[in-house]
Structure 1
Amino acid sequence: MPLHVPSAPAPALRSVLTALGSPTAVSEAPTPSLRAAQQPAGPELPLPVHVLDKITPQGALSTRLTGWRFLIRCGDHAVAAAESRLTPDGWAFSHFFEGPYVASTERALRQAESVTQPYQPRLLSVPSLYMFTLWLHGDFAADTASGHPAAGDLLVPLAPAPPGIAAHRPHAVAELLPVLTHRVPPAPLLGSSA
């Protein structure tokens, strides 16, 4: 199997399992598909979620781990997703959600299975572009809490992707970096006021 799906921290998984077992958490979630599920739903395919903080003048991407996302499977497909966030007190359930990123993540992971090189799948959020990508990290044994996209890693934009960036087309980081560099606003200089 070319994808080496990492194990989520046990407290992150427990927080999602606890929320799934809570009728209140499920009934109050904005997820009609999850609420209407007729079969038991369970979390699978845990992916660490990294956020792109900045692109340095040298072209390096600075990221940080913000959470773990689990696809919530019911039957033969994902009906929703759940996120666990790192808080000062440890991992805590954040929210359930559904929408295009759930099906798009599932599709991108299926596509990635056909790649012959082994990768560690992660998610990379680019908030300033309202963009999520499946980040296929070449160091599949790396600590999921650290690391930055390397030139040879692949980024697969999830749908909906920003205008001019094709969803579900794998891009080497070195290929997508020039596009991101022109679109992501530069980080503010220290000491400057906005």
Structure 2
Amino acid sequence: MPLHVSAAPAPALRSVLAALGSPAVREAHTPALRSVQGPLSPELPLPVHVLDVRDQLVPPAGTPRTRLAGWRFLIRGGDRPVAAADTMLTPDGWAFSHFFEGPYLASTERALRQAEAMPSRYQPRLLSVPELYMLTLWLHGDTDADPAAGSPAATDLLVPLAPAPPGIAPHLPYRVADLLPVLTLRLVPPPLLESTA
């Protein structure tokens, strides 16, 4: 089933287009982006949500809490993505943040292709767990939902992107209800051992 990719806020897209036409491209730490001959285009805007770890230790009614951190665009040069561009919300509105490349770029594209082949329809988002250095493709079941709001539903799917933390298989879809407890265990600090002296 096709994914229901949401439109990014117009100012976020405009900020990326402006950055692509500016010296920021030549100054970016992305050799692949600098070496492309021909036009570059931002595609597949995905809202980036961050899992609020403090709430996961004592989740309210078991519902994970997230906050919108920005929008990410895959930057296509020719027939392939060569980089990504992040935007962030500032007091003045949406603004370009930075370009980057690396393993999450190919991993995101692979996970999106996997999701396209699934029988159900989803709204794709990204869910970041910074404390675990983990990024997942969040497949939200409500395709009409505001992509900038909401929390992962128990039946939503999370597809960890590579590289994933040890013990968590990348590119394997997990239900939120199954993966979140595993992540929560990794986020809880180990108990302090009492001294017997």
Question: Normalising by the residue count of structure 1, what TM-score does the alignment of the two structures yield?
Answer: 0.93
Cα shift readout 1:115-136 (whole Å, capped 9, x = no counterpart): 1111000000001000000000
Matched, 1:157 2:160: yes
Question: What is the aligned partner in structure 1 of residue 137 from structure 2?
Answer: 134
Structure 2 gap ranges (5+)? 190-197
Aligned match of 1:110: 113
Q: Partner residue of 1:171?
A: 174
Tell me, in whole angstroms, the C-alpha distance in 1 between the residues paired with 2:181 and 2:64.
11
CA offset digits 1:158-187 (Å, max 9, x no partner) = 00000000000000001101211101247x
Q: Which amino acid aligns with 1:25?
A: A
Deviations 1:20-47 (A, max 9, x none): 011x100111100000001211000000
After superposition, the C-alpha distances for 1:57-111 in whole angstroms (9 at most, x for unaligned) are 4432110001000000111110000011001110000000000000100010011
Instruction: Tell whether the 8 Å contact from 1:2 to 1:116 is kept in structure 2 after alignment.
Output: no
Q: Point out the structure with the larger helix share.
A: 2
Letter in 2 for 1:106: E
Q: What residue number does 2:44 align with? A: 45
Q: What secondary structure is seen at the aligned counterpart in 1 of 2:48? A: strand
State yes or no: 1:70 paired with 2:73: yes
Aligned to 2:66, the other structure's residue is in SS state strand
Q: 1: CA distance between counterparts of 2:45 and 2:187?
A: 27
Shifted more, 169-178 versus 56-65: the winner is 56-65
- Write the distance in 1 (CA, Å) between the matches of 2:172 and 2:40: 30
Q: Distance in 1 between matches of 2:188 and 2:29?
A: 31
2:13 aligned partner: 13
Which structure 2 residues correspond to residues 88-99 of structure 1 after superposition, within 5 A? Answer: 88-99=91-102
Number of corresponding residues: 185
1:100 & 1:173 partners in 2: Cα distance? 23
1:191 matched residue in structure 2: none
